[in-house]
Protein backbone atom coordinates (compact mmCIF):
# COMPACT_ATOMS: atom_id res chain seq x y z
CA UNK A 1 0.00 0.00 0.00
CA UNK A 2 2.95 2.34 0.64
CA UNK A 3 3.84 1.83 -3.03
CA UNK A 4 0.38 2.95 -4.13
CA UNK A 5 0.49 6.06 -1.93
CA UNK A 6 3.90 6.90 -3.37
CA UNK A 7 2.57 6.56 -6.91
CA UNK A 8 -0.24 9.00 -6.12
CA UNK A 9 2.15 11.52 -4.51
CA UNK A 10 4.61 11.39 -7.41
CA UNK A 11 1.85 11.76 -10.00
CA UNK A 12 0.38 14.84 -8.31
CA UNK A 13 3.85 16.40 -7.98
CA UNK A 14 4.53 15.91 -11.68
CA UNK A 15 1.12 17.38 -12.52
CA UNK A 16 2.01 20.42 -10.41
CA UNK A 17 5.35 20.79 -12.22
CA UNK A 18 7.37 20.88 -9.01
CA UNK A 19 10.74 19.39 -8.09
CA UNK A 20 11.39 17.69 -4.75
CA UNK A 21 13.55 20.67 -3.77
CA UNK A 22 10.68 23.08 -4.45
CA UNK A 23 8.25 20.92 -2.47
CA UNK A 24 10.70 20.76 0.43
CA UNK A 25 11.01 24.55 0.48
CA UNK A 26 7.22 24.97 0.39
CA UNK A 27 6.36 22.38 3.06
CA UNK A 28 9.37 22.23 5.33
CA UNK A 29 9.61 18.47 4.81
CA UNK A 30 13.14 17.32 3.98
CA UNK A 31 13.91 16.29 0.42
CA UNK A 32 15.11 12.78 1.45
CA UNK A 33 11.85 12.18 3.32
CA UNK A 34 9.82 13.38 0.33
CA UNK A 35 11.74 10.98 -1.87
CA UNK A 36 11.05 8.10 0.52
CA UNK A 37 7.36 9.05 0.60
CA UNK A 38 7.21 8.69 -3.17
CA UNK A 39 9.09 5.38 -3.29
CA UNK A 40 7.11 3.94 -0.38
CA UNK A 41 10.34 2.91 1.31
CA UNK A 42 9.03 4.00 4.70
CA UNK A 43 5.61 4.52 6.25
CA UNK A 44 3.83 7.67 5.07
CA UNK A 45 1.81 9.62 7.65
CA UNK A 46 -1.60 11.06 6.84
CA UNK A 47 -0.65 14.56 8.00
CA UNK A 48 2.47 14.62 5.80
CA UNK A 49 0.41 13.38 2.86
CA UNK A 50 -2.14 16.16 3.39
CA UNK A 51 0.59 18.80 3.66
CA UNK A 52 2.32 17.72 0.47
CA UNK A 53 -0.86 17.38 -1.58
CA UNK A 54 -2.06 20.74 -0.30
CA UNK A 55 1.13 22.30 -1.65
CA UNK A 56 0.29 20.78 -5.05
CA UNK A 57 -3.13 22.40 -5.07
CA UNK A 58 -4.93 19.06 -5.01
CA UNK A 59 -8.68 19.28 -4.24
CA UNK A 60 -9.61 18.50 -0.64
CA UNK A 61 -11.64 15.41 -1.55
CA UNK A 62 -8.63 13.91 -3.35
CA UNK A 63 -6.37 14.75 -0.42
CA UNK A 64 -8.74 12.92 1.92
CA UNK A 65 -8.86 9.95 -0.44
CA UNK A 66 -5.07 9.51 -0.61
CA UNK A 67 -4.58 10.23 3.11
CA UNK A 68 -7.13 7.50 3.88
CA UNK A 69 -4.84 4.99 2.18
CA UNK A 70 -2.32 5.51 4.98
CA UNK A 71 -4.72 3.75 7.34
CA UNK A 72 -4.71 0.68 5.13
CA UNK A 73 -0.94 0.80 4.80
CA UNK A 74 -0.45 0.76 8.56
CA UNK A 75 -2.94 -2.01 9.29
CA UNK A 76 -1.77 -5.58 9.81
CA UNK A 77 -2.24 -7.43 6.54
CA UNK A 78 -3.97 -10.82 6.25
CA UNK A 79 -0.94 -12.33 4.53
CA UNK A 80 1.45 -11.55 7.42
CA UNK A 81 1.74 -15.24 8.50
CA UNK A 82 3.06 -16.08 5.01
CA UNK A 83 5.45 -13.12 4.76
CA UNK A 84 8.56 -15.28 4.66
CA UNK A 85 7.14 -17.51 1.92
CA UNK A 86 6.04 -14.91 -0.62
CA UNK A 87 8.23 -12.32 -2.38
CA UNK A 88 7.90 -8.58 -1.88
CA UNK A 89 6.43 -7.99 -5.36
CA UNK A 90 3.63 -10.44 -4.63
CA UNK A 91 2.87 -8.86 -1.25
CA UNK A 92 2.15 -5.60 -3.07
CA UNK A 93 -0.25 -7.41 -5.40
CA UNK A 94 -2.22 -9.18 -2.69
CA UNK A 95 -2.36 -5.97 -0.67
CA UNK A 96 -3.93 -4.18 -3.63
CA UNK A 97 -6.22 -7.13 -4.33
CA UNK A 98 -7.37 -7.10 -0.72
CA UNK A 99 -8.60 -3.53 -1.20
CA UNK A 100 -10.07 -4.03 -4.65
CA UNK A 101 -13.78 -3.95 -5.40
CA UNK A 102 -13.47 -5.57 -8.81
CA UNK A 103 -10.83 -7.61 -10.58
CA UNK A 104 -10.47 -8.57 -14.23
CA UNK A 105 -7.99 -11.35 -14.94
CA UNK A 106 -6.75 -12.84 -18.20
CA UNK A 107 -4.90 -16.12 -17.85
CA UNK A 108 -4.22 -17.94 -21.13
CA UNK A 109 -2.27 -21.00 -19.91
CA UNK A 110 -3.24 -22.10 -16.38
CA UNK A 111 -6.24 -21.91 -14.06
CA UNK A 112 -5.91 -18.60 -12.15
CA UNK A 113 -4.71 -18.78 -8.55
CA UNK A 114 -7.97 -17.47 -7.11
CA UNK A 115 -9.81 -20.41 -8.69
CA UNK A 116 -7.32 -23.20 -8.02
CA UNK A 117 -8.01 -26.21 -5.83
CA UNK A 118 -5.41 -27.16 -3.24
CA UNK A 119 -4.23 -30.22 -5.22
CA UNK A 120 -3.93 -28.22 -8.44
CA UNK A 121 -2.03 -25.44 -6.66
CA UNK A 122 0.33 -27.96 -5.04
CA UNK A 123 1.06 -29.65 -8.37
CA UNK A 124 1.83 -26.29 -9.99
CA UNK A 125 4.02 -25.24 -7.07
CA UNK A 126 5.98 -28.51 -7.19
CA UNK A 127 6.72 -27.83 -10.86
CA UNK A 128 7.85 -24.25 -10.19
CA UNK A 129 11.64 -24.12 -10.01
CA UNK A 130 11.56 -20.71 -8.29
CA UNK A 131 9.69 -22.05 -5.23
CA UNK A 132 11.90 -23.72 -2.62
CA UNK A 133 10.74 -27.26 -1.71
CA UNK A 134 10.50 -26.39 2.00
CA UNK A 135 8.10 -23.52 1.20
CA UNK A 136 5.71 -25.28 -1.17
CA UNK A 137 3.11 -26.21 1.45
CA UNK A 138 3.09 -22.65 2.82
CA UNK A 139 2.70 -21.18 -0.66
CA UNK A 140 -0.30 -23.44 -1.26
CA UNK A 141 -1.90 -22.46 2.06
CA UNK A 142 -1.33 -18.81 1.14
CA UNK A 143 -3.14 -19.33 -2.18
CA UNK A 144 -6.02 -21.00 -0.35
CA UNK A 145 -6.34 -18.09 2.07
CA UNK A 146 -6.17 -15.60 -0.80
CA UNK A 147 -9.02 -17.40 -2.59
CA UNK A 148 -11.19 -17.02 0.52
CA UNK A 149 -11.80 -13.42 -0.62
CA UNK A 150 -14.26 -14.79 -3.18
CA UNK A 151 -16.54 -16.22 -0.48
CA UNK A 152 -16.09 -13.52 2.17
CA UNK A 153 -18.91 -11.40 3.62
CA UNK A 154 -18.04 -8.66 1.12
CA UNK A 155 -16.63 -10.76 -1.72
CA UNK A 156 -14.42 -9.61 -4.54
CA UNK A 157 -16.23 -9.13 -7.86
CA UNK A 158 -14.12 -11.31 -10.17
CA UNK A 159 -14.28 -11.57 -13.97
CA UNK A 160 -11.88 -14.10 -15.50
CA UNK A 161 -11.07 -14.94 -19.10
CA UNK A 162 -9.23 -18.27 -19.33
CA UNK A 163 -7.56 -19.72 -22.39
CA UNK A 164 -9.02 -23.06 -23.48
CA UNK A 165 -5.51 -24.53 -23.23
CA UNK A 166 -5.61 -23.99 -19.46
CA UNK A 167 -8.57 -26.35 -19.15
CA UNK A 168 -6.63 -29.18 -20.78
CA UNK A 169 -3.25 -28.56 -19.17
CA UNK A 170 -1.95 -31.72 -17.48
CA UNK A 171 -1.52 -30.63 -13.85
CA UNK A 172 -1.45 -33.37 -11.21
CA UNK A 173 -3.22 -36.69 -11.66
CA UNK A 174 -6.56 -37.31 -13.36
CA UNK A 175 -8.70 -37.02 -10.17
CA UNK A 176 -7.02 -33.70 -9.33
CA UNK A 177 -7.72 -32.32 -12.80
CA UNK A 178 -11.35 -33.43 -12.66
CA UNK A 179 -11.75 -31.89 -9.20
CA UNK A 180 -10.30 -28.64 -10.54
CA UNK A 181 -12.85 -28.49 -13.36
CA UNK A 182 -15.67 -29.27 -10.93
CA UNK A 183 -14.44 -26.45 -8.71
CA UNK A 184 -14.56 -24.05 -11.67
CA UNK A 185 -18.19 -25.06 -12.24
CA UNK A 186 -19.08 -24.31 -8.62
CA UNK A 187 -17.28 -20.97 -8.64
CA UNK A 188 -18.87 -19.93 -11.96
CA UNK A 189 -22.28 -20.27 -10.32
CA UNK A 190 -21.46 -17.68 -7.65
CA UNK A 191 -23.02 -14.25 -8.29
CA UNK A 192 -19.69 -12.42 -7.85
CA UNK A 193 -17.70 -14.64 -10.24
CA UNK A 194 -17.86 -14.62 -14.05
CA UNK A 195 -15.76 -17.10 -16.02
CA UNK A 196 -15.30 -16.94 -19.77
CA UNK A 197 -13.25 -19.31 -21.90
CA UNK A 198 -11.47 -18.03 -24.98
CA UNK A 199 -10.93 -20.47 -27.86
CA UNK A 200 -8.62 -20.22 -30.90
CA UNK A 201 -11.60 -20.28 -33.23
CA UNK A 202 -12.88 -17.14 -31.53
CA UNK A 203 -10.35 -15.16 -33.53
CA UNK A 204 -7.65 -12.63 -32.72
CA UNK A 205 -7.84 -10.27 -29.79
CA UNK A 206 -5.90 -7.48 -28.14
CA UNK A 207 -4.10 -9.71 -25.64
CA UNK A 208 -2.19 -11.78 -28.20
CA UNK A 209 0.92 -9.66 -27.67
CA UNK A 210 0.27 -9.06 -23.97
CA UNK A 211 -0.23 -12.37 -22.15
CA UNK A 212 -1.48 -12.73 -18.60
CA UNK A 213 -2.57 -9.58 -16.75
CA UNK A 214 -4.79 -8.43 -13.92
CA UNK A 215 -6.73 -5.14 -13.69
CA UNK A 216 -7.84 -4.00 -10.23
CA UNK A 217 -10.56 -1.42 -9.52
CA UNK A 218 -9.80 0.17 -6.16
CA UNK A 219 -12.33 2.20 -4.15
CA UNK A 220 -10.02 5.02 -3.07
CA UNK A 221 -7.57 5.45 -5.93
CA UNK A 222 -7.02 4.94 -9.64
CA UNK A 223 -7.11 1.45 -11.23
CA UNK A 224 -3.89 -0.57 -11.31
CA UNK A 225 -2.80 -3.23 -13.80
CA UNK A 226 -0.56 -6.07 -12.61
CA UNK A 227 1.59 -8.11 -14.98
CA UNK A 228 3.47 -11.04 -13.47
CA UNK A 229 6.95 -11.89 -14.73
CA UNK A 230 9.04 -15.03 -14.15
CA UNK A 231 10.41 -13.80 -10.84
CA UNK A 232 8.91 -10.35 -10.39
CA UNK A 233 6.04 -8.16 -11.48
CA UNK A 234 5.23 -4.94 -13.28
CA UNK A 235 2.64 -2.54 -11.84
CA UNK A 236 1.05 -0.20 -14.36
CA UNK A 237 -0.73 2.91 -13.10
CA UNK A 238 -0.30 5.53 -15.83
CA UNK A 239 -3.85 6.43 -16.95
CA UNK A 240 -3.17 6.03 -20.69
CA UNK A 241 -1.62 2.57 -20.25
CA UNK A 242 -4.37 1.46 -17.88
CA UNK A 243 -6.93 2.57 -20.47
CA UNK A 244 -5.15 0.45 -23.09
CA UNK A 245 -5.40 -2.63 -20.89
CA UNK A 246 -9.05 -1.84 -20.20
CA UNK A 247 -9.70 -1.83 -23.94
CA UNK A 248 -7.87 -5.16 -24.27
CA UNK A 249 -10.07 -6.59 -21.50
CA UNK A 250 -13.15 -5.46 -23.42
CA UNK A 251 -12.01 -7.26 -26.57
CA UNK A 252 -11.35 -10.43 -24.58
CA UNK A 253 -14.89 -10.37 -23.19
CA UNK A 254 -16.27 -9.95 -26.68
CA UNK A 255 -14.18 -12.69 -28.33
CA UNK A 256 -14.51 -15.28 -25.54
CA UNK A 257 -17.46 -17.60 -25.05
CA UNK A 258 -20.19 -16.11 -22.87
CA UNK A 259 -20.23 -17.17 -19.19
CA UNK A 260 -23.13 -19.56 -19.92
CA UNK A 261 -21.35 -21.06 -22.95
CA UNK A 262 -18.13 -21.34 -20.96
CA UNK A 263 -19.89 -23.14 -18.12
CA UNK A 264 -21.42 -25.58 -20.60
CA UNK A 265 -17.97 -26.23 -22.12
CA UNK A 266 -16.43 -26.99 -18.72
CA UNK A 267 -19.33 -29.29 -17.80
CA UNK A 268 -18.81 -31.11 -21.09
CA UNK A 269 -15.13 -31.66 -20.26
CA UNK A 270 -16.08 -33.13 -16.88
CA UNK A 271 -18.66 -35.43 -18.47
CA UNK A 272 -16.15 -36.62 -21.06
CA UNK A 273 -13.45 -37.33 -18.49
SS (H, E, C) 186-227: HHHCCCCEEEEEECHHHCCCCCCCCCCEEEEECCCCCCEEEE
Collapse the DSSP code of 105 into the 3-class scheme (helix H, G, I; strand E, B; otherwise coil) and give the result. Answer: strand
More confident residue, 117 or 72: 117
In angstroms, the CA 19 to CA 127 distance is: 47
Give me the CATH code for the 81-272 domain, please: 3.30.870
**Contact by Cβ (8 Å): 200, 164:** yes
The pLDDT of residue 75 is 47
Q: DSSP H helical segments within the chain, as ranges?
A: 2-16, 20-27, 31-39, 46-55, 60-74, 88-99, 118-127, 136-147, 164-168, 174-188, 239-255, 259-272
**pTM of the prediction?**
0.74
Q: pLDDT > 70: what percent of the chain?
A: 87
Read off the pLDDT of residues 197-216 as tens digits, 9 standing for 90 and up.
999 888 888 787 788 999 99
DSSP annotation of 134: G
The pLDDT of residue 196 is 98
The answer, yes or no, to whether residue 187 has pLDDT greater than 90, is yes
Read off the pLDDT of residues 80-89 as tens digits, 9 standing for 90 and up.
565 656 666 6
Domain boundaries, the chain: 2-74, 81-272
The answer, yes or no, to whether residue 69 has pLDDT greater than 70, is yes
In this structure, the strands spanning 232-236 and 224-229 are antiparallel
Q: Which CATH superfamily is domain 2-74 in?
A: lambda repressor-like DNA-binding domains (1.10.260.40)
Amino acid sequence: MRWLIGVELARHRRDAGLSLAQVSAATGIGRPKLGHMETGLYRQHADDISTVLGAYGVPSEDIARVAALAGHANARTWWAPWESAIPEWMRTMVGLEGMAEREFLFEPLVIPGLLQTEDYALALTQAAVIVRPDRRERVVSFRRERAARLTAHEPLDLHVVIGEAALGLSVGDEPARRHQLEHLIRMAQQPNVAIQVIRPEGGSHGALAVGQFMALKLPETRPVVYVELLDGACYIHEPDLVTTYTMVADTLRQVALSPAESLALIKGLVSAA
